[in-house]
Copies of this chain bind each other. A is one copy, B any other.
Amino acid sequence: MDLQQIGVHHPKIKQLRSIQKNTAPNPKKLFIAEGLWAHNLLLNTDTHIDSFFWCPEAAYGNEAVKRSEEIAARAGRAYQISDKTLARISERDRPDGLISIAQLPLWDPIDVRFDRSALVMVADGMEIPGNLGTLVRTLDACNADCLVLTNRRTRLTHPKVFRASQGMILTMPVVEFDQPEDAVAWLQRNSFDVYLADANNAKNYRNYRYADRRTAFVLGSERYGIPKPWYEAGCESVSVPMLGSADSLNVSISAAVLLFEARAQKDHW
C-alpha cells in the first residue's frame, strides 16, 4: 500500500487526540477504534470509517496487513504513520498498528420500527461508561429493539462503552431524548407498557405479563435513581427483589434479570 505518511502535527492526528481527550463537543459521534479486534468489527458492520492510520512496523502478522488493506479501501482517508507517532496516540500497552477514527451510527427515533412484541430499555442519567457498555451487550444478547437514553451523562463514544459492549454499540440502535417527558411521549405513541425499575415496594418483576405486547423498562442512574417525570407519567413500577444484606443490585444485573424475563415470556421459553 502506498499511503501518505503523516506525523503528530497533522490535523487528522490532532483531531484523533482531541476525540481521545473527550472534552470538545462530538456531534458526529466519532470514536477511536484501535487494534485488530476492533477493526474486524468495523469491517463486519457498515460503520463509517472517517480516517485510518496504519503503522506497518507495529503489525503482528499477516492478518493485520490484510485487514489494513481492506480498511484503507473503505476509509474516507488513509495514512501511514511511524512507530513513534503510533506510540504517541495509542492508548494500548502493545499497539498493533491499526487505529481509526470511526463514526457511531446516528439513530433518529422516527427511524426505529417495532413489532408487536418489541423490547426496549431506557437508561436515565447513567454515569458509568462500563455499565452502559455492559447494558448494550445484554440488549444485544436478548435481542432487544433499542436502547433509549434520557439525561445522558456519559458519552457513547467513550472507549469503555465500546469495549464493555463488545462492539455491539455499532449495531444496537440507540436513541436519545434530552427530557424524560419526550421519551415518555414517544413510548406512549408507540403503545409501550413502561415499567420503572424501582427497588422500593414495587411489584415483583415476575408478576407482570410481557408476552404479545411492547415492553419498555426504565433504569435510573447509579446515584439518583429514576427522576420524577417518569413517575408523573403514570408508569408501572417493577422490582427485582433484593433478598440479601446489600442495599442495591448492580444496575447491569437488574437490567439483565428484567430483560431476560421479558424475552422468555415473549418467546415462550
Contacts and interface: CB of A to CB of B under 8 A. Distances in A.
A263 interface: yes
Nearest to A244: B140
B171 A245 contact: yes
A138 B253 contact: yes
A138 B250 contact: yes
Contacts of A249: 137-138, 141
Given A134-B250, A138-B253, 10 more contacts: A139-B244, A141-B240, A141-B249, A142-B244, A168-B244, A168-B245, A241-B269, A250-B252, A256-B256, A257-B260
Contacts of A250: 134, 137-138, 252
Interface string A157-171: 000000000111001
A246 B140 contact: yes
A191 to B, nearest CB: 23
Given A134-B250, A206-B269, A207-B269, A141 B243 contact: yes
A47 interface: no
A3 interface: no
A80 B249 CA distance: 36
A257 B240 CA distance: 11
